[in-house]
Structure 1
Amino acid sequence: MANAVIEYEAKILDVAPQELARIIIDKAGSKVTLTVKEIVSDDIGGAQETEITVSDFDTTNTLLGKLGYRAKAYQENQRQSFLLDGAQLEIDSWPHIPPYLEIEASGKAEVLRVAELLGYSEDQLTGKNTTKIYADYGIDLKSITDLRFTE
C-alpha cells in the first residue's frame, strides 16, 4: 500500500497563465490521477497526499463505484504542468474564479526559493485549499454538486 507523503506546496492567486508559461519550462504529457488529499492546515506543509496515475477517468470512476464509493460532486479543472529548477508547477484554472499557480517542492524553503525565482515573495503565497479559495470569492464550493466550465 502506498504511503501518504507530506506535500510542500503553496498557491499564488489570480495569475496570468500565458505570462507564467513563458518563463517556465514545459513538462510534456498529460495524465489522469486518483488522489486522496488530507488537509491538516493551511501551511505550506499542511497536506498529506496519496496519488496514483490511472489510465482512464470513466473506468476508474466505475471501479470506485463497484467498491462502494459514491461521488459527492463532479468538478472540472484545467491544469498546465511544468518543471522548474526541481519544483513541480501547476497553473490551475477552475470555473468561476481566476487561475492560480501552485508550487510544489521538496520542502518549504524550496517552495519559497522557486516562488522568488518567479518574482513572488512569501507574503504572496497561500496554503489554502481550493474550497477556501472559492470562499474568498464568495462561492460555497461544498454546495455545488456539478462544477463545469460550460453550464
Structure 2
Amino acid sequence: MAGIEYEAKALDVHPAKIARLITEAGGTCTTGTRLMRRHVYDTIPAVPGRWVRLRDTGTDTTLCVKQITTDAVDGTHETEVTVDSFEETAALLRLTGLTPRGYQENRRTSYTLGAVRLEVDEWPRIPPYLEIEADDEAQVWTAATALGIDHGRLTSVNTTKVYSLYGIDLDSIADLRFE
C-alpha cells in the first residue's frame, strides 16, 4: 500500500490524561499498550529522508519504505506491505545485502476518534507523544480541536527530529531499547 500519511504529533503528553481526553471526545481504545520493535535500514543508495523499516507492531509485521519530503502534515510518503515474520524478513533482507543501521523499540497504545487514528507512543529517553493520523489534513485538525489541543502545539516532524528536539541523535543509536 502506498500513499501520503496525514499526521501531526503533540509532544510531551501524559498518556493517562490523553486517554481520558480521547474517551471524553467519544474515542475508543482499539489496541492496548504493546511493545513494538523495528529494524531501520538505509536505502541503496542512501538518500536523506528515505529509509526502509521492518516493524513488528505486536499484532502484525510490516515492511515499508518511508520518505519525508517536508515537515508538513502531509510530508511523509509510505509504501508498505505486510510480511509473515519479523525474524525471517530480517534474515531475507540480510541476504539481499541490507544491514540494519538500528534496532528500535517503543510502546504504543492505539485509539480511534471517528475515522482518525490516534497513537500514544512511548519511546526510550524522551517523553511520550500523541500521533494523530487521518485520511486528510482537515481530519487531523478536527481531531486535535476535539481533544482540546491547540494547533500551534502540533508538529509533523518525524521521530528522528523529535529526538533531536531533546538533544539526542537517534541515527547514532544502534540499539534503542527500554531498560
TM-score (norm 1): 0.91
**2:29 corresponding residue in structure 1:** 26
Residue identity matched to 2:13: V
Following superposition, the deviation at residue 54 of structure 1 comes to 2.7
Following superposition, the deviation at residue 103 of structure 1 comes to 0.6
Relative distance call for 1:147 and 1:15 in structure 2 (3 A) is same
Following superposition, the deviation at residue 30 of structure 1 comes to 2.5
Deviations 1:4-54 (A, max 9, x none): 201110000011112222323011482232222100111000010112233
Residue identity matched to 2:173: I
**1:36 corresponding residue in structure 2:** 65
8 Å contact 1:82–1:89 — kept in the other structure? yes
Q: Which of 101, 105, 130 in structure 2 is aligned with 1:72?
A: 101
Following superposition, the deviation at residue 121 of structure 1 comes to 1.7
Provide the identity percentage.
Answer: 51
Q: Which of 5, 8, 21 in structure 2 is aligned with 1:7?
A: 5
Give the whole-Å Cα distance in 1 for the aligned partners of 2:19 and 2:96.
39
Let me know the Cα RMSD of the aligned residues: 1.5
Partner SS for 1:113? helix
1:121 aligns with 2:140: no
Partner SS for 1:27? strand
Partner SS for 1:76? strand
Gaps of 5+ in 2: 32-57
Give the whole-Å Cα distance in 1 for the aligned partners of 2:113 and 2:9.
15
8 Å contact 1:89–1:103 — kept in the other structure? yes
Gaps of 5+ in 1: none
1:140 aligns with 2:138: no
**1:63 corresponding residue in structure 2:** 92
Residue identity matched to 1:15: V
Give the whole-Å Cα distance in 2 for the aligned partners of 1:57 and 1:76.
13
User: Stretches of 4+ moved more than 3 A in 1?
Assistant: none
Give the whole-Å Cα distance in 1 for the aligned partners of 2:16 and 2:60.
21
- 21-30 or 79-88, larger mean C-alpha shift: 21-30
TM-score (norm 2): 0.77
8 Å contact 1:112–1:121 — kept in the other structure? no
8 Å contact 1:25–1:82 — kept in the other structure? yes
